[in-house]
Amino acid sequence: MQPVLNIEDVKCVEVALTREGVSVSELMHRAGYAAAQETIALGDVENVVVLVGLGNNGGDGWVAAEALFARGVNVKVVTPLEPDQISGDLARQVAQSAVKAGVSPLVGPSRDELEDLLSTADAVLDCMLGTGFHGEVRAPFDIWIECVNASGARAISVDVPSGLSAQTGRAAQACVVADMTVTMLSLKPGLLADDGRDVCGSIVVAPLAEQTEHLVVEADPVAWRTDLSDYLDVIPAPTQAVDKFTRGSVLVVGGSRRFPGAAIMAARAAARMGAGYVTLATPASVAAIAQAHLLEIPVVPLPEDADGVLSADGKDVVLKLARGVSAVLVGSGMRISGGTVALVSALIEQDVPLVVDADGLNCLARLTDGALPDFPEVTRRNAPLVLTPHRRELGRLVGQAKTPPDSLVDALEDARKIVWSDGGSNLAIVAKGSATGCVGVDQALLPKPGPCALATAGSGDVLAGMMVSALAQGSGQGGDLTLMAAYVCEVHGYAGSLAAERLGSRAVMATDVIDVIGLAADAVGEHVMFPEGVEEA
Ligand SMILES: NC(=O)C1=CN([C@@H]2O[C@H](COP(=O)(O)OP(=O)(O)OC[C@H]3O[C@@H](n4cnc5c(N)ncnc54)[C@H](OP(=O)(O)O)[C@@H]3O)[C@@H](O)[C@H]2O)[C@@H](O)CC1
Ligand SMILES: Nc1ncnc2c1ncn2[C@@H]1O[C@H](COP(=O)(O)OP(=O)(O)O)[C@@H](O)[C@H]1O
Ligand SMILES: [K+]
């Protein structure tokens, strides 16, 4: 796993390194060398343009320029000011040193001059704005960024693509779209989420010092990026000695006359993820439709109200069914009513492994008056509980219905309010988004996200079905529930990639993802067992 640090904690590591005898100047030199090294490793780099800003990110750029020059590369540094005019001491010193060594600066070029220069560059080193960037990009960098993105040269961003917030993952109107980002000391959340996924290219972490590894861990990472090898313990062990019930039995409670499909997809996804026996309990008026779609899955009709929404009268039947299975999913397409709130509440009180998704979460929000963290007794139970909210659902759970989290870090923080108030290891929250965080009381995990093809109606229902299936098969029980949740997200993402490959990235529908769950699970499993031998999707 790779640690991910909030920007303020990266600064703490920097301070801790200086206490251990590695000065900021030394760090800047190592950062610049690392960037130069990665640039040369790209191959075919004879002409490099280095665009520098006026802070320490610019300082890294001047060091990189001097290092590239020393390696015989034809380097030009584009700067808004003459080296002597740079106000920051460190950045000024490295700029003066580079010029003294023979690096030639181009000060404040016109757009035409810059475009001409970039047209002959093999690579551009983007050292305009780093972690000190805030607000919208001001001149001249907004124009420089436009020119970089329009040029055909490969762009290597130092620390963070200029214009991206390394904390929130939000890009300003002007933002470098890099081929590679060489980031210093550790991963930062904004590189991995939202706009960050579009603009970073491949990410290389430059630790800069031997001591960094332990200092980063001590700085309390906001999350950990998982590697496939981390999943070894949560992949169900292969055995022939099973029957359809011991392979994991699942009950899905959901659906409504308005949304019958969500529960049907969840049930089907649960079966495709490997559960041996799946049952769907759904309102009576849609049971026949559901059964027609699910030949292998028994459908139990439940009492409903006049709108075709599950009523509380079905509670005893649901609880009886729940007692007979390994895990339950509640919520898919269920709608919010007095009846569905009563069902969700009854299932949470029952000691069965449980996944709550979609309207099940909205029922939970209603049950706790939008303040789930204030009611830890609701989530404290003896059996595992996995909540799978997207950002709006998460907002409703923590009293932020009108202002749901709009970054990965905010979503992680909201999820932590719930898991920390609960305090136990039987609760995991899967905070879904273009990058998903799986949050438990001890740590937050970031599985590799799937493609944007997953941004399609119903793909969350598919994930919920996969999640309950993994729970039913015993992954995560008695072990690490958060890691199991991350594993399921990883398979879901991989299935999205496979579906996109087969059908085209814009064409994928949630049912297509269901069809390839098995192939995705096998492929992820192979990667985990034999990391070197399998091609990525
Ligand atoms: N942490 C570490 O261990 C290490 C960190 N290192 C490096 O330091 C970098 C952080 O350096 P930093 O703090 O000097 O900030 P940086 O990103 O250069 O930006 C500040 C400059 O940008 C300007 N500026 C801001 N917003 C702007 C806007 N919207 N539009 C235009 N301009 C804007 C701002 O101007 P001001 O707002 O002050 O007027 C100021 O001039 C970090 O990313 C990494 O590369 C490595 O050297 C070694 C190890
Ligand atoms: N841009 C994206 N890139 C990768 N995955 C995405 C993206 N957008 C959504 N997803 C994933 O797709 C799923 C959508 O879930 P959800 O919002 O609950 O959809 P629905 O309610 O339609 O089923 C989540 O697993 C989410 O992580
Ligand atoms: K940069």
Ligand 1 atom closest to Cα of 58?
A: 18
- Residues 6 or more apart in contact with residue 116 via CB below 8 angstroms: none
Q: Out of 3.20.180.10, 3.40.50.2000, 3.40.50.10260, 3.40.50.1220, which CATH number does the structure's domain 2-221 have?
A: 3.40.50.10260
Q: Compute CA distances 481 → 116, 174, 490, 529, whole Å.
A: 55, 40, 14, 20
- Site to substitute for ligand 2 among 390, 397, 456, 487, most atoms within 8 A of C-beta: 390
Q: How confident is the model at residue 67 (pLDDT cuts 50, 70, 90)?
A: very high
For residue range 123-181, list pLDDT tens digits in order. 999 999 999 999 999 999 999 999 999 998 999 999 999 999 999 999 999 999 999 99
Distance 449 CA to ligand 2 centre (A): 10
pLDDT of 537 higher than 90: no
Q: How confident is the model at residue 475 (pLDDT cuts 50, 70, 90)?
A: low
Based on DSSP, count helices (H) and strands (E) in the chain, helices before strands: 21, 18
pLDDT of 371 higher than 90: yes
Mean pLDDT of 325-344: 98
Which amino acids bring their CB within 6 angstroms of ligand 1?
Answer: 10-11, 14, 27-28, 31, 53-60, 129-138, 141, 158-159, 184-185
For residue range 509-527, list pLDDT tens digits in order. 999 999 999 999 999 998 8
Ligand 2 in reach of 436 Cβ (< 6 A): yes
* 435 marked as part of a ligand binding site: yes
Give the pLDDT confidence score for residue 533 in this predicted structure: 58
Class of domain 229-529: alpha beta
Mean pLDDT of 386-414: 98
> Domain segments of the chain: what residues?
2-221, 229-529
Give the pLDDT confidence score for residue 279 in this predicted structure: 98
Predicted complex ipTM:
0.96
**Shortest-distance ligand to the CA of residue 158:** 3
Question: What mean pLDDT is reported for the chain?
Answer: 96
Give the pLDDT confidence score for residue 478 in this predicted structure: 62
Ligand 1 atom closest to Cα of 166?
A: 43
pLDDT of 226 higher than 60: yes
- Site to substitute for ligand 2 among 359, 432, 508, most atoms within 8 A of C-beta: 432
Q: How much is the pTM?
A: 0.96
Distance 162 CA to ligand 1 centre (A): 10
Hey, which bits of 365-489 come out as E strands?
A: 385-387, 427-431, 437-439, 444-446
Ligand 2 in reach of 434 Cβ (< 6 A): yes
Mean pLDDT of 446-454: 97
For 100, other C-beta atoms within 10 Å of its C-beta total 10
Ligand 2 in reach of 40 Cβ (< 6 A): no
For residue range 239-261, list pLDDT tens digits in order. 888 888 888 999 999 999 999 99
- Site to substitute for ligand 2 among 195, 429, 459, most atoms within 8 A of C-beta: 459
What percentage of the chain has pLDDT greater than the value 90?
93
Whole-angstrom Cα distance, residue 22 to residue 31?
Answer: 12
Mean pLDDT of 376-403: 97
